[in-house]
Structure 1
Amino acid sequence: MFLGCSKLINVAVPGTIDERAINTKRVLNPWERNENHTLCLNSAKAVGCTVVNIGTQDFIEGRRHLVLGVISQIIKIQLLADLNLKKTPQLVELVDDSKDVEELMSLPPEKILLRMQRLYAHLLNVLAPEHSKPSALAAKNTLEREQRMGSQPKSRYRSLKTSPDDAIISREERAFRFWINSLGHSTYINNVFEDLRNGWALLESLDKISPGIVNWKIANKPPIKMPFRKVENCNQVVKIGKQLKFSLVNIAGNDIVQGNKKLILAYLWQLMRQQTGSQSCMKSFKDKSLSDGIFFLELLSSVQPRVVNWSLVTKGVTDEEKKMNASYIISIARKLGCSIFLLPEDITEVNQKMILTLTASIMYWFLKQPVEDRPSAISDSESSSQLETISNSTLDDSASESSMEENGNL
């Protein structure tokens, strides 16, 4: 079951699981089997699946409804991956003006697919009337229209081709989108910059991270038609951010409503840092030597000595070797149980913010372990020394906060 699910995840989002991190012995002990299932669940979460209240034991016991629920989500992600304007710009033909384009960007893939179906029915009636059924155009019910079109030749359908990743979609946006969806609230995010504009998803995220901090009595639940209601939600989002000591220079609720990308990413970055509990930071994440990944492999090895197979680690000299190490780091961290959403490129290119979340997640996992379960390979004094070194080190917060201020002034 585990291998099938892992391969399915890699088909849906290639490269998510580094197969070198999988325990592949003929006979696995319970610990190794649990690690494999943890890797699978965290990888599913990282690609956008909702796995709330699903644990490794559910997989081990083969609880069908839960396992099938995860598998169906993975398949859905793979099938609908290209149904957005970034990867398939041709979808702009579904709308008439720029205002409609903005609305289209906020739609989930399922609704875009329905629009494509309606457009196809009209086009088929014009281009190939001999294969068209006029009744399909008159059908009001979606299922009825699909049934009436079902007998038309499948050869007329043209699948969408996957285009190279659009530069507009930043890796940070992707990581934040998956992270928000992993929190398990009711609103599924398809596009960070569009779906957060009414403030509701941000309020739900804040409530997940700091329960009780949101005043739901003054919150406006979607669908929200009046713009000022959206501003009210976003104003509360900013107010709560200030309570949590976020750096929100020149950020107002209306900036979120307007979809200001830089300011939204700046807020989400601080929200993720709040969730990971990353108050203990390294001295600097700008050191280019971090790109080879050796430091993070050593960090993982220090919190769980047997988790890293050093025979699979490269020297990290060439770009390809660095990427192999980075991919291995991400899979090993998920195998331990860390919830991380960065890509190998974030490590090889030394993305300061994303590397901070990786380090914080590893240390947070370690500190959650009972003292008696912590690795015996590290003596108490050594463990204390390592944690003290990292805890006492400080991130170049002045640079980070100045970056936030620059974003706020833009």
Structure 2
Amino acid sequence: MEATGQKLHKVDGLTTLGENGIVHTICDEEEVAFSNWINNNLSDDGDLVQLLPLDPQSQELYTKINDGLILCKLINLAVRDTIDERVINKKNLNTYTKLENLTLSLMSAQAIGCAIINIDADDLFKGKPHLVLGLLWQIIRIGLFNQIDLSNVPGLLRILDKDENVESLRKMSPEDILVKWVNYHLEKAGCGKKLGNFTNDVQDSVIYTHLLHQIAPKGSGVGLGPLSVDGNVDRAGAMLEEAEKIGVREFVSAGDVSNGVYKLNLAFVANLFNKYPSLPEPDVEEVELIVAADKESREEKTYRNWMNSLGVSSCVNWLYADLQNGLVIFQLYDIIQPGVVNWKKVVQTFRKLQSMMEKISNCNYAVELGRELRFSLVGIQGKDLYDGNRTLTLALVWQLMRAYTLVILSQCTHANDGKLVGDKDIIEWANQKLTASGKESSIKGFQDSTISNGRAVIDLIDAIAPGSIDYEMVKDQGESKLSNAKYAISSGRKIGAKIYALPEDIVEVKPKMVMTVFACLMARDYSGTKN
């Protein structure tokens, strides 16, 4: 919940259907915080010399992101190598090449889990404030939260209670982990206070002052002086001066702290954690626990990002924990086939004593719906989803993603006869498109080993959007496969294909993900527009 006291202004927005004007409320603090974050993290990028620094007070954030360069760089800052730099238009930009960059940034943002519903390249080109800030927050949040896990910070085991384990940590959201991390340090500091939220609990800066003092390196000069300052705003200012000593004065002003602005205080704490987790390294026994714990696979990450990009109401952080109650699965069914879910059968608020049975009941209904949609769910029961059985959960999730992809494709091809486009249709289309464009490459199926060099995908993209590929970038020697695959994925996104797969999926010829790549390119070809 946002605290009061924020500086807000209103901007007019018009719907695409020509309805009455809609008024959007913009948070001035976010404009300033995001501008400063961009300046501090991208100022050394030679491609942005003409754009940075942004003036946080002038609203030029909205005009300077309209060529897509800042957004592309920010996405790569959040999730390294998401966008192949070779694909970004960087020089002599005109309206068309700017829109290409913006399309590339939107498709790439979607691929890392940003919900980009009702936003397109033209909205960003026009600098619509509420849409720009909404997208920037999602990208920045993903970047900040990426490091909050055991693989990056093994010492996170230290924040767990006695009755908790590695699996408990996985089930926590990044926000919950940050709260536990802060409280761990407050207890070590003997503070006597506990953090419960990022709004009211931080307004007096007492927690922040103790936290900074506890995590700061020895000899940094960070002290508890702000505690003796009267007034929340002045105390927050003094606290931020202490933060400045160790280079963590990011996202918040004194007013943002004293007003309890949720997003910015959350970002402030996440940045503190990323720079100074200050947790003891695990011992030998604990290291064994961490090593034994399965890490998120590429496939799991792709599914998670896909779900989040569709705007499911509960953010998916760990696939098995967050699908356990069935609610996200029902939302996906409703997106794939609107109206298929009978929500009267779904328990949405769980009672403490009955929650296990209610969640299993939901999962049973989820499996039942899958069978109605002709999913292959042999041997899968609701209890398997509730228990987080990886193999069986992934079997359902893949079929959800496949169904979604084919529904979108069928809509684009105008196949409204109730029959979905199938694998054979996609392969036939790809080969016909390649042949008609004079390309030498072809595919026999989604397991065709020749796909691994990326050539077929690259040629197909050029066939869909002639001239979109710079063939000087395409290599046939040495370590060229991964390079070609990276170029192919980003090039596909640049022409508006909603590709979630990763370059490694092409190199390793993972048939499931390869199928989605070709299906998304086919949808892009039939739509004829750069979404």
**Which TM-score tier does this pair reach, normalised by the shorter chain?**
0.7 to 0.9
Instruction: Report the CA distance between 1:33 and its aligned residue.
Output: 2.5
Identify the residue that residue 97 of structure 2 maps to in structure 1: 32
C-alpha contact (below 8 Å) 1:200/1:222 kept by paired residues: no
C-alpha contact (below 8 Å) 2:350/2:358 kept by paired residues: no
Identify the residue that residue 119 of structure 1 maps to in structure 2: 184
Whole-Å separation in 1 of the counterparts to 2:447 and 2:196: 57
Residues 239-265 of structure 1 deviation map (CA, whole Å, 9 limit, x = unaligned): 111111111110111100000111111
Judged with a 3 Å threshold, the aligned counterparts in structure 2 of structure 1 residues 218 and 24 are, in CA distance, closer, same or farther, namely same
Whole-Å separation in 2 of the counterparts to 1:329 and 1:98: 47
Which of 150, 153, 167 is equivalent to 2:208?
A: 150
Whole-Å separation in 1 of the counterparts to 2:201 and 2:400: 45
C-alpha contact (below 8 Å) 2:186/2:207 kept by paired residues: yes
* Deviates further, 87-96 or 75-84: 87-96
What amino acid is the match of 2:119? I
Instruction: Report the CA distance between 1:114 and its aligned residue.
Output: 0.6
* More helix by percentage: 1
Give secondary structure in 1 for the equivalent of 2:183: helix
Identify the residue that residue 68 of structure 1 maps to in structure 2: 133
- Higher relative contact order (Cα pairs below 8 Å, separated by 6+ residues): 1
Give secondary structure in 2 for the equivalent of 1:151: helix
Whole-Å separation in 1 of the counterparts to 2:359 and 2:304: 20
Residues 94-114 of structure 1 deviation map (CA, whole Å, 9 limit, x = unaligned): 223565543432221011101
Identify the residue that residue 72 of structure 2 maps to in structure 1: 6
C-alpha contact (below 8 Å) 1:292/1:325 kept by paired residues: yes
Matched, 1:90 2:147: no
Judged with a 3 Å threshold, the aligned counterparts in structure 2 of structure 1 residues 224 and 18 are, in CA distance, closer, same or farther, namely farther
Matched, 1:279 2:426: no
Judged with a 3 Å threshold, the aligned counterparts in structure 2 of structure 1 residues 66 and 223 are, in CA distance, closer, same or farther, namely farther
Identify the residue that residue 349 of structure 1 maps to in structure 2: 508
Identify the residue that residue 314 of structure 1 maps to in structure 2: 475
What amino acid is the match of 1:199? G
Identify the residue that residue 456 of structure 2 maps to in structure 1: 295
Instruction: Report the CA distance between 1:218 and its aligned residue.
Output: 0.8
- CA-based RMSD of the aligned residues comes to 2.5
Which of 359, 374, 377 is equivalent to 2:518?
A: 359
1:193-208 aligned within 5 A: 193-208=320-335
Whole-Å separation in 2 of the counterparts to 1:195 and 1:359: 29
Whole-Å separation in 2 of the counterparts to 1:265 and 1:141: 34
What amino acid is the match of 1:144? D
1:6-405 aligned within 5 A: 6-28=72-94, 30-97=95-162, 101-125=166-190, 134-136=191-193, 143-144=200-201, 147-152=205-210, 153=213, 155-156=216-217, 159-160=276-277, 168-223=295-350, 225=352, 226-277=355-406, 279-281=422-424, 282=427, 283-315=444-476, 317-319=477-479, 321-369=480-528
Whole-Å separation in 2 of the counterparts to 1:141 and 1:26: 47
Whole-Å separation in 2 of the counterparts to 1:51 and 1:167: 30
C-alpha contact (below 8 Å) 1:230/1:257 kept by paired residues: yes
The alignment's TM-score, normalised by the length of structure 2, stands at 0.63
Give secondary structure in 2 for the equivalent of 1:305: coil
Whole-Å separation in 1 of the counterparts to 2:155 and 2:511: 35
* Deviates further, 151-160 or 71-80: 151-160
Q: Percent identity?
A: 37
C-alpha contact (below 8 Å) 2:106/2:116 kept by paired residues: yes
C-alpha contact (below 8 Å) 2:186/2:192 kept by paired residues: no
Whole-Å separation in 2 of the counterparts to 1:121 and 1:259: 34
Whole-Å separation in 1 of the counterparts to 2:460 and 2:130: 37
Whole-Å separation in 2 of the counterparts to 1:195 and 1:249: 23
Whole-Å separation in 1 of the counterparts to 2:277 and 2:518: 38
Judged with a 3 Å threshold, the aligned counterparts in structure 2 of structure 1 residues 90 and 33 are, in CA distance, closer, same or farther, namely same
Q: Aligned pair count?
A: 358
Whole-Å separation in 2 of the counterparts to 1:289 and 1:13: 29
Instruction: Report the CA distance between 1:288 and its aligned residue.
Output: 2.2
Identify the residue that residue 392 of structure 1 maps to in structure 2: none
Residues 166-186 of structure 1 deviation map (CA, whole Å, 9 limit, x = unaligned): 862110000000000111121
Whole-Å separation in 2 of the counterparts to 1:140 and 1:306: 55
Judged with a 3 Å threshold, the aligned counterparts in structure 2 of structure 1 residues 237 and 141 are, in CA distance, closer, same or farther, namely closer
Give secondary structure in 1 for the equivalent of 2:467: helix
C-alpha contact (below 8 Å) 1:238/1:251 kept by paired residues: yes
Judged with a 3 Å threshold, the aligned counterparts in structure 2 of structure 1 residues 365 and 140 are, in CA distance, closer, same or farther, namely closer
Identify the residue that residue 387 of structure 1 maps to in structure 2: none
Q: Which has the larger radius of gyration?
A: 2
What amino acid is the match of 1:264? T
Give secondary structure in 2 for the equivalent of 1:246: coil
Structure 2 gaps of 5+ residues are 1-64, 218-271, 282-289, 407-420, 428-443
C-alpha contact (below 8 Å) 1:94/1:115 kept by paired residues: yes
The alignment's TM-score, normalised by the length of structure 1, stands at 0.81
Instruction: Report the CA distance between 1:53 and its aligned residue.
Output: 1.4
C-alpha contact (below 8 Å) 1:135/1:148 kept by paired residues: no
Residues 161-203 of structure 1 deviation map (CA, whole Å, 9 limit, x = unaligned): 9x99986211000000000011112111011111001100000
